[in-house]
Amino acid sequence: MNLSSFFALPFLLFLFFFFNLVSACHVADQKALLAFKSAITADPSGILSSWKPGVDCCTWAGVTCSVPNRVTSLSLYGQLDRPNAFLSGTISNSLSNLPYLDGIYLVNLRNISGPFPLSLFKLPKLLYVYIENNRLSGQLPAAIGNMSQLEAFSVEGNRFTGPIPSSISKMIRLTQLKLGGNLLTGSIPIGIKQLKSLTFLSLERNRFTGAVPDIWGTFPELRILRLSHNKLTGKIPRSISSLAPKLSYLELGHNLITGNIPDFLGNFRALDTLDLSSNYISGVVPKSFRNLTKIFNLDLSRNSLVDPFPELFVKGIESLDLSYNKFHLGKIPKWVTSSPIIYSLKLAKCGIKMKLDDWKPTETYFYDYIDLSENEIWGSPVGLLNRTDYLVGFWGAGNKLNFKLQDLRIVKSLKYLDLSRNVVLGKVPGGVVGLKKLNVSYNHLCGRLPATKFPATSFVGNDCLCGPPLPACK
């Protein structure tokens, strides 16, 4: 060993022990986290299995220590596709004893219950709160605005009730405010206009009433606005036009909105998604929609819109739903047919009169949903559907489709098939067993049914089908 190595070795050993010493979790933080764990009554998948006394809590799952030996972030995530990946229990007040905590993320844990954790008010460095898809309930605290240092606040997917506290207007540093998927009531408070730094606002899937507030001129950075699935009334306010430069998502569907589609929506050149579905909107779709060249998801279904529908100049559209208006399209629009990336096409009751065999879309491989119900379409869907590998649902009820059902290739992904009230011939193939929903009623099918779980209403009105759930075969 040379002289430099001789002196370097003790120094490296010192650094090793020093950094291990300072990175060890602070005893008070470990105590607070263990108290949090003690309030958890069920953890079937072992999300907190690494949380053990005597083990450095900075190494525990979901715990981050950015400041030496102090806990700065708590991130616990369930998995919605795994039934046992959840936590039951409450949020312990012990979190107030984590003075360096700047972020808390309790997401998709599903069974965390109790009121809003008031312990969060005592954390001076807290910037990010995401407590999503749990079972918190009660009202949001009236003093929520005292958490004015927050930059992101999300309690989506809980069971909070009552109004949004007016003090929320004090949370002026927020860039994200997500309160969707609760049971909140009352009107949307005007004070939200003070949150001028917002890029993401979600109030969807609640019970808000009153008019869509005319406050949108104060949000220069807003990119996502979700107000769907409420009971909002009135017309689309003019101030929404101020969001045109940057807004990517505008979702107002499933409300009680009236009036026409404003012409100014054609100025939203950055718009990716526009959802105005299930309202009481009337009139024509503005010609200015030709400017929406970046639109990927357009849902205008279930309104009272009338002809003519403008030709769009999109490079590709992922999903289009114009169903159940007062359109008379005649044919599937050319710009839809030529789209290179389309997943979902829903044109139910759109006045389409065509032979389906003649429709030759540029791309069929990625189609997952196709709804052409309640039109005047004849011919066979076999040529179209047999070229799809990821089809999840096809609805063609109430047309004049004429083909042999056993010619249809039923891919593994297919879950929904409705061919009722057509002229479908042949037998019901065994491949339908894997579907979730099937309706082939009122056609000209014949023969013994395969063993399925579907009710008799799925098969009634055919020529000579037999076997459970229909009468026995002779």
pLDDT at 11 over 50: no
Nearest to residue 301, comparing CAs of 327, 277, 273, 328?
277
Is 298:290 a contact under the CB 8 Å cutoff? no
The CATH number of the domain where 370 resides is what? 3.80.10.10
- Structural domain contains residue 449: yes
Q: What is the pLDDT of residue 237?
A: 97
Q: What is the mean pLDDT of residues 186-192?
A: 97
Q: For the chain, what is the domain count?
A: 1
pLDDT confidence band for 19 (50 / 70 / 90): very low
Tens digits of residue pLDDT in 95-119:
999 999 999 999 999 999 999 999 9
The average confidence (pLDDT) of the chain is 94
Residue 30 C-beta-side C-alpha neighbours within 13 Å: 17
pLDDT tens readout for residues 291-323:
999 999 999 999 999 999 999 988 888 999 999
Query: How would you classify residue 128: left for phi > 0, otherwise alpha for psi between -120 and 50, otherwise beta?
Result: beta
* Domain presence at residue 386: yes
Percent of the chain with pLDDT over 70: 95
Whether the CB-CB separation of 343 and 368 falls below 8 Å is answered with: yes
Q: How do residues 113-146 score in pLDDT, each as one tens digit?
A: 999 999 999 999 999 999 999 999 999 999 999 9
- Residue 20 pLDDT > 90, yes or no? no
- Does 388 have pLDDT greater than 80? yes
Strands (E), 397-470: 400-401, 416-418, 437-439, 446-448, 464-466
Say if 273 falls within a structural domain: no
For residue 156, the model assigns a pLDDT of: 98
Whether 29 has a pLDDT exceeding 50, the answer reads yes
**pLDDT per residue over 241-263, tens digit each?**
999 999 999 999 999 999 999 99
Q: What pLDDT does residue 24 have? A: 86
| Host domain of residue 402 | 323-473
pLDDT of residue 316: 82
- Is the residue at 433 inside a domain? yes
Cβ atoms within 10 Å of 263's Cβ, excluding its own: 12
The model's confidence at residue 214, banded by pLDDT at 50, 70 and 90, is: very high
pLDDT tens digit sequence for 136-181:
999 999 999 999 999 999 999 999 999 999 999 999 999 999 999 9
Nearest to 171 by CA among 120, 244, 134: 120
Phi, psi of 288 (to 5 degrees): -65, -15
Amino acid at 196: K
Whole-number pLDDT of residue 10: 45
Higher local confidence (pLDDT), 61 or 68: 61
Instruction: Encode pLDDT of 333-363 as tens digits.
Output: 999 999 888 899 999 999 999 999 999 998 8
Indicate if the pLDDT at residue 281 is higher than 50.
Answer: yes
Q: Strands 73-77 and 63-64, how do they pair?
A: antiparallel
Q: What pTM was computed for the model?
A: 0.91
Q: Which residues pair with 36 in a beta bridge?
A: none
What confidence score (pLDDT) does residue 13 get?
40
The per-residue pLDDT for 16 is 38
In a domain, 373, yes or no: yes
Residue 300 lies in a domain: no
**What integer pLDDT is reported at residue 366 of this predicted model?**
86
Residue 424 within a domain: yes
Question: Buried b / exposed e across 51-87, counting CB within 10 Å, b at 16+?
Answer: beeeeebbebebbebeeebbbbbbebbbeeeeeebbb
Phi-psi region of 418 (alpha: psi -120 to 50; beta: other; left: phi over 0): beta
Mean pLDDT of the 58-81 span: 95
pLDDT of 189: 96
pLDDT band per the 50, 70, 90 thresholds, residue 15:
very low
For residue 5, pLDDT beyond 80: no
pLDDT for the residue 302: 98
What is the pLDDT, as a whole number, of residue 242? 97
- Residue 17 predicted with pLDDT over 70: no
Is there a domain that residue 44 lies in? no
d(CA 438, CA 398) in angstroms, rounded, equals: 15
Q: Label residue 23 by pLDDT band (50, 70, 90).
A: low
Average pLDDT, integer, range 391-419: 96
